[in-house]
Structure 1
Amino acid sequence: MTNVFINWQDVQPEKVRFIDTRFDLSKGAAGREMYDAGHLEGAIYWDLEQDLSDMASRSGRHPMISKERMTELCRKAGLHLEDFIVIYDQGASPFALRAYFLLEWAGFTNMHVLREGYESVKDLFRITKEEPVIAVSHMEPNWKDAIYLDVEAVKKVVAGESEGQLVDARAAFRFKGESEPIDPVAGHIPTAVNFDWEQLKRDGQFLDKELLAEQLQHISDKDKPVIAYCGSGVTAAPLYASLKEAGYSDVKLYVGSYSDWIRENEVEQD
């Protein structure tokens, strides 16, 4: 099994590169404000919409950034592929896991998400309002394109031309098409099964490895490809990471997700 999450007791701050990804989907500036008010010493800040999404793209509500932008982001952060990186958000949120996915896509291999989140550990680590001075790196990504699916690849899965089980991370009422509070069309991508990502967490943190494995064991055959998606690609990231943590060997993410799919494709309701 992959160790996506790390507990605070296993973090040695002097050996870690921290990335703060706190955010609020209802107030875009809130994450940066939280960071400026206090963050783990040495942490840089990555914003969901300014850094981790291409908001100018039409491919969904939080579209994938380009390889060029991801490379620039990592270099400006002074990162190297071999760095021990710990990403955190406010706790039991999807934002750190979005950054985790992008780092994995770029070829980083030693990054983890703090299971407890900032609110639970702020009294256990050194906190500062100072932004660290970072020396720019010249890292060269080692892209793992296999983990990232676009709409054309998902079409092949739906048509049965490619193997894979789509897993929708939204609430059941949205998956079934009973109502849709955000997107203009209700329903889900054909052939998908549903697993609400909220079931992956409890008491402000993500479940431990054994509980995740238990929760997710009936999704699909663990040796077959599974593809996580949600509404905009954000809350699919916790499902993606948890499937990996639970022992699924071939996990992918459709970043465009449902908001991208419905632009030109049919949906199912049940």
Structure 2
Amino acid sequence: MPAPVAKSAKSLKTVMLAILCALVNLPHRVHTEILPKPNITVEPYPMTEGDHMTLLCISRVSASDAVVKPQFAFYRNKQTVQDFTSYSSYKVGAAQMEHSGDYTCETRTSNDSVKKTSEVLHLDIQELFPQPELKVSLAPVYEGGNLSITCSTVLNPIAENTMLQFAFYKNKEPVQTFNSSNEYEVYSVQPEHSGKYSCEVQTPNNSTKKLSQEVSVQVQGASDKSQGSYVYKPQSTLRLMLSACVLMLTACTLVHHMRTTKQQKTKNKRPSSPLVL
């Protein structure tokens, strides 16, 4: 009978060893199964600069899971933009074009025993509107006249309903604060209105703002207007001098011709000498 007892003891030892191995490997197996590869998404899309951007790292594991307690991190172009926290979202209040790039998110267990990384999500933040351009209606500008300056830009078609506000500056000092009008007008312009003008465009929430290049405006006096705006060039002066010479030569020729004709007529009218017999 000793043989069956020994065999039973050996079987029991094998079973207990198998159970022990299973218990040792259980945490890894549990973590591997309950921490799947995450999925990264973005809202809204497509997106223009100034939009509120939210990235979500979606996992089938709840962030409140008492066993796993997952943590989330976000990366742009393989650089950390938000380190591991319990928050599964990454938010940017006013996205700019420099926020474009390749995004990924990573999940891990609280004890850092298991990590999973999402696929790459490429984001392209589009320009809402280009740098504005400043245009002066009339040039040159004369004293007493009117000055009209326009600030022009074009909205991206995907955000065509966005309201824009405009402001104007002279020598970097505000002359018209932000409002919906893209024109700045001055009536009865004076010399003190001369200067370097620029304009700025922004969204109502100030999330996107762009400044134009400066344009120089020089107000000319009323006497300048009466004299006209013709600019004499060396070629024009030479033509005028030649024209004057031709005119003088023509006048001299005409006077000489008139004198010669008069003398000829006088000579013809003189009485002939009497014939002496």
Alignment TM-score, normalising by the size of structure 2: 0.22
RCO comparison, higher one (Cα < 8 Å, 6+): 1
> Which structure has the larger Rg?
2
More strand by share: 2
Alignment TM-score, normalising by the size of structure 1: 0.22
